[in-house]
Every structure is written in structure tokens, then in C-alpha cells.
Amino acid sequence: MSDAKNPYISQASRSAQAGDGITRRDFLNEITLGALGIAGLGSVAVTYQYFSPNVLFEPSTTFRAGNPDLYPVHSVTFLQDQLVYIVRMPEGFYAVSAVCTHLGCVTQWKPDADMIACPCHGSKFKGDGTKIEGPAPRPLPHFSISLTADGELLVDKLQNIKPAQVLKV
């Protein structure tokens, strides 16, 4: 039976099939799928928000490292609580991260070999964080270091600075 003779196809849908627009069924299907799609995307968004914590109970990333006189010239001092090396050279102070740039292990300062070594996968760095050998992809970053009003060293681990920037005291 051709569509023209089929009594179950209304005049409206027949004209729709002729190209005047879409059928009511297709229209409702598209509206429903569109609404479900928007609701689905919204669910993904709010689930993502839910799993992303707004308040963290983590140690502060800014800390005081004490009076500059604590650190002799030509010294590398490891601060275990902060995982930072405070390095004092004749030109000034800088703070080097003690966390290996490879996979996040804590490195160790080896005074005898005059280098920083990672126990996990054998990366080696110079005292200023420059890479000697891998697998670490990058040198150890330098953190922003400054003096507080009362003359103590202040390190901000969220701010990386260029290795050339040293704090002259």
C-alpha cells in the first residue's frame, strides 16, 4: 500500500513527508533527546564539581625559613617538613624544590659528591637544581624567596622564579 492510500498517515504528516518540515513524532523525539542530552551534560558537570574539593586541609605552601644567619655561605640546607633546599652562595639565597621532577620522590643532598640525588630512579642535580642526568625531564624549580619585615626568610612554593633571581641579604 502506498502512503497516499494509507488511512493511518494523517494529512499533516503526509505534507511533512512531502518536505514542508518535520513530523510531530520526529520533532518530539528530537526535543526529548536534546533535553536528555542537556540534563546528562549538567549531571556530568555537577558530579565533577562535587568531586573537586573546595576546601583542602593541606599544609600551607608559604613558610618562614628563619633568620638568614642560620645558613652559612656555600651551604645547602634541607628542610624536611617543607621539602625545600635553602641554598646560600656568595651571590645570595635561593630556594630549590627537593621534590624530583620525574615522579615526585624526595631527593637528597649529597655533600660529598656536591650534588642532589633522587633515590627512586637515579636522577642527579647540581646544588642549584640544574639537571646532571635523568630520567628527570626538568631541573628542580626555584621557589620565590623574600625577606619578611622582621628579617626572616619567606618562601612561597606556589611561585616559581628564574634560577638567575637570587635574594641578596
Partner 1 sequence: MATSFQSVLQNLRETKVWKSIFRRGPANTNRTRSLAVFGNLFLHWLPVKVREKSLRVRASYYLGSISFLLFIVLFVTGILLMFYYHPATPHAYRDMKDLRFVVSNGVFLRNLHRLAAHLMVFAVFWHMFHVFYRGGYKPPHEFNWVIGVVLLLITLFLSYTGYLLPWDQLAFWAVTVGTNIISAMPFVGDKIRFLLLGGNIVGENALLRFYVLHVVILPLVAFLLIGIHFWRVQKDGGLTVKPKDDDGKE
Phi/psi of residue 156, nearest 5 degrees: -115, 110
Number of residues that bind partner 1 (CB under 8 A): 13
Characterise 104 by phi-psi region: left (phi > 0), alpha (psi -120 to 50), beta (else): left
51 near partner 1 (CB under 8 A): yes
104 near partner 1 (CB under 8 A): yes
49 near partner 1 (CB under 8 A): no
Q: Could you count the other beta carbons within 10 Å of the beta carbon of residue 156?
A: 16
Stretch that binds partner 1, among 5-13, 74-82, 100-108, 127-135 (CB under 8 A): 100-108
- Out of 52, 54, 80, 148, point to the residue binding partner 1 (CB under 8 A): 52
Q: Which is nearer to partner 1, 58 or 112 (CB)?
A: 58
Shortest approach of partner 1 to residue 77 CB, angstroms? Answer: 22
Stretch that binds partner 1, among 4-12, 33-41, 56-64, 128-136 (CB under 8 A): 56-64
46 near partner 1 (CB under 8 A): no
Pull the grid cell for residue 41.
Answer: 551534560
| Sites of contact with partner 1 (CB under 8 A) | 48, 51-53, 56-59, 102-105, 120
